[in-house]
């Protein structure tokens, strides 16, 4: 592969990470405006996003399998175009069922990104940890931009614009990548730009079994917190937001903007220290942070939620580095697909968990109790990962 082709692949992989998280987080903010139009409560409206959230994770495994056996570049074209179509379908919906279908399409095509896009990035990277860290920054930036864009577009032009504009952006990116692939500027490849030794089979099995536990726990924590954050801030930070949609969406975005810098720290640490140690310590720090959020309000709650997402942002590129380290190259997209079945698919249970806890208790205190317990399980499982040493760094790209 040429360096130019690899740089373009990394660019579109990072852009895809920004887009996929941005469009998947439009609805939790937009939903705050839909009650009057569709005559449903917040909890019932949140259930409309569950099929799309489940597909976003569960379809990752077949997407990864296809990415290993077909062509990652064309799979990424399909990701961009399909995500755009899903957003536009949501914008044109005239009923709750129509919204659910549009969100399901967005989740289905969005499921391509994490298994295929992450494996594509790893294949084109020299220093994996650093590249995964930058990729995490783009993903976190998308998480931050999604609520802010949704709030601003919905306030200025109506809730449909909050899906229509991002949908058009997705389609434009898909068409651009399609052109670059067709002219050969982004070349297909099945070999790593920087090959590494294949993992020991016993360590690979052990690592994947333990990471399956930690990835499920981390996925539920992330899914639950991202879907709950707009409502949490609307309820507990009304003195800061002023009770408006833009203020709420802005604070949610602020949390993700601050935490968006920390994947680079996680990638830096993964390239220089034991990945197992960094991973376990990041999740150990999450336990007291989530416990502290149980009874906090106003700016202290804002600070604590920032810290919680910062720790998750550090852990994510380390987790991906661990999975890449213990997976043979020919199965990497499939392995990432299996990961995201757990961390985005099965863990989509975090969305109905949030809705159920809120409807039954009228608040979020018990949600944080559950999430702190899940973080503790992740620490326990991560402690039994195989020992690893810091990898040797390659020269800067």
State pLDDT tens for residues 195-245: 455 666 777 788 888 888 998 898 889 888 888 888 888 888 878 776 667
Task: Supply the pLDDT for residue 344.
Answer: 61
State pLDDT tens for residues 79-122: 999 999 999 999 998 888 999 999 999 999 998 998 888 888 87
Query: First CA to last CA across the chain, in angstroms?
Result: 14
Task: Report the distance separating Cα 188 and Cα 166, nearest Å.
Answer: 27
State CA 259 to chain mean position distance.
13
Domain boundaries, the chain: 3-382
Task: Report the distance separating Cα 49 and Cα 352, nearest Å.
Answer: 9
Q: Do 148 and 278 touch, CB atoms closer than 8 A?
A: no
Task: Report the distance separating Cα 343 and Cα 71, nearest Å.
Answer: 24
State CA 165 to chain mean position distance.
21
Task: Supply the pLDDT for residue 374.
Answer: 94
| pTM score of the predicted model | 0.70
Top pLDDT among 16 and 41 is at: 16
As given in the structure block, the two tokens for residue 324 are 């890449």
As given in the structure block, the two tokens for residue 300 are 């202290």
Task: Supply the pLDDT for residue 379.
Answer: 94
**Nearest residue to 302 via CA among 366, 229, 219, 371:** 229
Task: Supply the pLDDT for residue 196.
Answer: 58
As given in the structure block, the two tokens for residue 277 are 């140690």
Q: Hey, what's the torsion of the CAs at 32, 150, 307, 299, to 10 degrees?
A: -60
Distances from the Cα of 34 to the Cα of 40, 92, 145, angstroms? 8, 14, 20
Task: Report the distance separating Cα 245 and Cα 227, nearest Å.
Answer: 15
Q: Do 66 and 75 touch, CB atoms closer than 8 A?
A: yes
Top pLDDT among 312 and 257 is at: 312
Q: How many CB atoms lie within 10 A of CB 373?
A: 13
Phi first, then psi, for residue 193 (nearest 5°) are -65, -35
The pLDDT-based confidence of 393 (bands split at 50, 70, 90) is: very low
Q: Do 144 and 254 touch, CB atoms closer than 8 A?
A: yes
H-state helical runs in 59-189: 60-69, 72-91, 96-110, 118-124, 128-157, 161-182
State pLDDT tens for residues 342-364: 766 666 677 788 888 888 888 88
As given in the structure block, the two tokens for residue 331 are 């199965």
Task: Report the distance separating Cα 228 and Cα 367, nearest Å.
Answer: 9
State pLDDT tens for residues 281-310: 999 999 999 999 998 888 898 999 999 999
Q: Has domain 3-382 been given CATH number 1.10.3720.10?
A: no
8-state DSSP, 349? G
H-state helical runs in 237-297: 238-241, 245-259, 262-272, 275-292
**Owner of token pair 């326990």:** 380
For the chain, give the percent of residues with pLDDT over 90: 26
């Amino acid at each position: 592969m040429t360096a130019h082709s690899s740089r373009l692949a990394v660019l579109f992989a990072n852009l895809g990470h920004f887009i996929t998280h941005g469009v998947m987080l439009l609805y939790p903010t937009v939903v705050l405006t839909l009650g009057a139009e569709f005559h449903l409560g917040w909890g019932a409206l949140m259930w409309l996003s569950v099929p799309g959230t489940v597909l976003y994770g569960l379809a990752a495994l077949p997407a990864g399998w296809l990415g290993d056996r077909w062509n990652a570049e064309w799979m990424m074209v399909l990701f961009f175009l399909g995500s755009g179509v899903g957003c536009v379908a949501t914008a044109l919906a005239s009923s709750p069922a129509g919204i659910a279908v549009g969100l399901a399409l967005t989740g289905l095509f969005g499921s391509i990104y994490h298994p295929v896009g992450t494996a594509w990035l790893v294949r084109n990277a020299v220093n994996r940890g650093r590249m995964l860290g930058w990729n995490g920054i783009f993903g976190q930036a998308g998480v931050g931009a999604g609520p802010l864009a949704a709030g601003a577009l919905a306030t200025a032009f109506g809730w449909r614009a909050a899906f229509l504009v991002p949908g058009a952006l997705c389609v434009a990116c898909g068409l651009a990548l399609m052109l670059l692939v067709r002219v050969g500027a982004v070349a297909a490849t099945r070999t790593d730009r920087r090959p590494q030794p294949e993992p020991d089979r016993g360590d690979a099995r052990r690592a994947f079994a333990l990471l399956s536990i930690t990835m499920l726990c981390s996925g539920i924590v992330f899914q639950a917190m991202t879907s709950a954050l707009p409502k949490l801030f609307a309820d507990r930070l009304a003195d800061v937001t002023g009770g408006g949609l833009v203020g709420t969406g802005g604070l949610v975005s602020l949390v993700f903007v601050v935490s968006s810098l920390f994947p680079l720290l996680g990638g830096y640490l993964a390239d220089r220290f034991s990945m197992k140690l960094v991973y376990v310590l990041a999740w150990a720090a999450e336990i007291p942070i989530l416990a502290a959020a149980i009874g906090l309000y106003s700016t202290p709650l804002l600070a604590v939620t920032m810290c919680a997402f910062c720790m998750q942002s550090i852990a994510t590129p380390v987790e991906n580095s661990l999975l890449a380290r213990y997976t043979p190259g020919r199965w990497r997209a499939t392995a990432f697909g299996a990961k995201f079945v757990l961390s985005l698919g099965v863990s989509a249970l975090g969305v109905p968990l949030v809705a159920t806890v809120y409807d039954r208790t009228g608040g979020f205190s018990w949600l944080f109790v559950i999430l702190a317990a899940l973080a503790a399980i992740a620490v326990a499982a991560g402690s039994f990962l195989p020992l690893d040493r810091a990898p040797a760094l390659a020269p800067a790209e």
